[in-house]
């Protein structure tokens, strides 16, 4: 990508995982509604490329997105228990605003931070907890319809559908990354579901780099590490994006200790 890349929600967990690993690899513009402290900004990014703005503020977004080639859109309310008024504003209105601005600015690629909670209701009482365990065959692969866990999941499924609409009508490349459970240093502790959908920081950064560099039309992929326990397929991310994850929650104890040190 020879144009700048706009990262919304840059100060959050996913944004910092990305910048911590590939902060020097792209010409970033960083946007967050909270000011970013110096340690959250890579040395290669100067203050003129840091925007304190709300994604529902059309004017502010248009300034930030001018001349950008790709958007990684993370900003939003990440809480599974978030109330409707918050997900409606931050996740749905905010995402629609980002797409409109992206189309007007001629952005080529748009990566949207979707969630496991867009499909959480596939985890039925009949399937759980067995589906979280190694060797269990059940897989979601991105071709299934959304089955949200909660209103937050509804907002993520809606963001994916906005991407479908803007791709079909405006020809922007869109990839929806259904992120699992991002944690730093080790998988979620004593949490089978979380270990099955673990996404390490370095795999997260690599996956979003693939979203910037690969060629695609409209995609839905799962964002997890190469876990032995898994019920999300990462084959589509491998095939279309060239995703090659390095981490695996099976290399840690259930309590989160690395096996080679346990």
Q: Which long-range contacts (CB under 8 A, 24 or more apart) does 257-262 make?
A: 257/186, 258/186
191 carries an active-site annotation = no
Q: Which of the listed partners (ligand NAI, ligand LXAUTJHC, none) does 148 bind, with a CB threshold of 5 to 8 Å by partner kind?
A: none
Total residues contacting ligand LXAUTJHC by CB under 6 A comes to 8
3-state SS, residue 29: strand
Dihedral of CA 48/54/60/65: which sign?
positive
Residue from 76, 120, 163, 245 in contact with ligand NAI (CB under 6 A): 76
Query: What proportions of the chain, in percent to the nearest 5, are helix, strand and coil?
Result: 40, 15, 45
Total residues contacting ligand NAI by CB under 6 A comes to 23
Catalytic residue among 26, 51, 132, 152: 152
Tell me the C-alpha distance between 205 and 239, whole Å.
Answer: 18
**Which of these, 189, 182, 256, lies nearest to 225 by C-alpha position?**
182
Residue 115 marked ligand-binding: yes
Residue from 8, 116, 200, 227 in contact with ligand LXAUTJHC (CB under 6 A): 116
Print the binding letters for residues 154-183 with ligand LXAUTJHC: x by CB under 6 A, - otherwise. Answer: ---------------------------x--
Enter the tokens of residue 17.
């995982």
Residue 51 marked ligand-binding: no
Task: Indicate the residue whose CB is closest to ligand NAI.
Answer: 12
**Which of these, 249, 231, 232, 248, lies nearest to 127 by C-alpha position?**
231
Tell me the C-alpha distance between 124 and 103, whole Å.
Answer: 39
When asked if residue 12 is in the footprint of ligand NAI (CB under 6 A), the reply is yes
Alpha-carbon distances of 136 from 81, 144, 227, 231, rounded to whole Å: 28, 18, 12, 8
Q: Which of the listed partners (ligand NAI, ligand LXAUTJHC, none) does 22 bind, with a CB threshold of 5 to 8 Å by partner kind?
A: none
When asked if residue 73 is in the footprint of ligand LXAUTJHC (CB under 6 A), the reply is no
* 193 vs 260 by CB, closer to ligand NAI: 193
Window 116 to 145, contacts with ligand NAI (CB under 6 A): none
Tell me the C-alpha distance between 167 and 173, whole Å.
Answer: 6
Q: Is the peptide bond before 246 cis (omega within 30 degrees of 0)?
A: no
Enter the tokens of residue 177.
């990354």
When asked if residue 91 is in the footprint of ligand LXAUTJHC (CB under 6 A), the reply is no
Provide, rounded to whole angstroms, the least separation between the CB of residue 80 and ligand NAI.
Answer: 9
Residue 90 marked ligand-binding: yes
Length of the chain measured in residues:
262
Provide, rounded to whole angstroms, the least separation between the CB of residue 110 and ligand LXAUTJHC.
Answer: 19
Q: Annotated catalytic sites, by residue? A: 152
- Positions touching ligand NAI (CB under 6 A) are 9, 11-15, 32-34, 54-56, 74-76, 78, 90, 94, 113, 115, 179, 181-182
Binding-site members for NAD(+) are 90, 115, 152, 156
């Amino acid at each position: 990508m020879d144009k700048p890349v706009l990262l919304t929600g840059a100060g959050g967990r996913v944004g910092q995982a990305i910048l911590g690993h590939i902060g020097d690899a792209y010409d970033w513009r960083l946007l967050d509604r909270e000011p970013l402290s110096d340690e959250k900004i890579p040395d290669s990014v100067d203050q003129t490329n840091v925007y304190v703005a709300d994604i529902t503020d059309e004017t502010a977004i248009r300034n930030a997105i001018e001349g950008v080639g790709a958007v990684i859109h993370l900003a939003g309310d990440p809480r599974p228990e978030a109330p409707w008024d918050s997900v409606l504003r931050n996740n749905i209105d905010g995402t629609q605003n980002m797409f409109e601005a992206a189309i007007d600015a001629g952005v080529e690629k748009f990566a949207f931070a979707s969630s496991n909670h867009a499909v959480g209701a596939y985890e039925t009482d009949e399937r759980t907890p067995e589906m979280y365990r190694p060797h269990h065959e059940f897989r979601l692969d991105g071709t299934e319809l959304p089955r949200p866990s909660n209103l937050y999941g509804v907002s993520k499924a809606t963001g994916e559908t906005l991407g479908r609409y803007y791709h079909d009508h405006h020809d922007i490349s869109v990839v929806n990354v259904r992120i699992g459970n991002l944690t730093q240093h080790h998988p979620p502790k004593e949490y089978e579901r979380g270990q099955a959908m673990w996404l390490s920081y370095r795999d997260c950064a690599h996956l979003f780099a693939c979203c910037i560099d690969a060629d695609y039309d409209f995609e839905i992929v799962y964002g997890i590490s190469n876990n032995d326990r898994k019920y999300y397929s990462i084959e589509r991310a491998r095939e279309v994006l060239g995703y090659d994850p390095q981490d695996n929650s099976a290399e840690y104890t259930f309590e989160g200790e690395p096996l080679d040190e346990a």
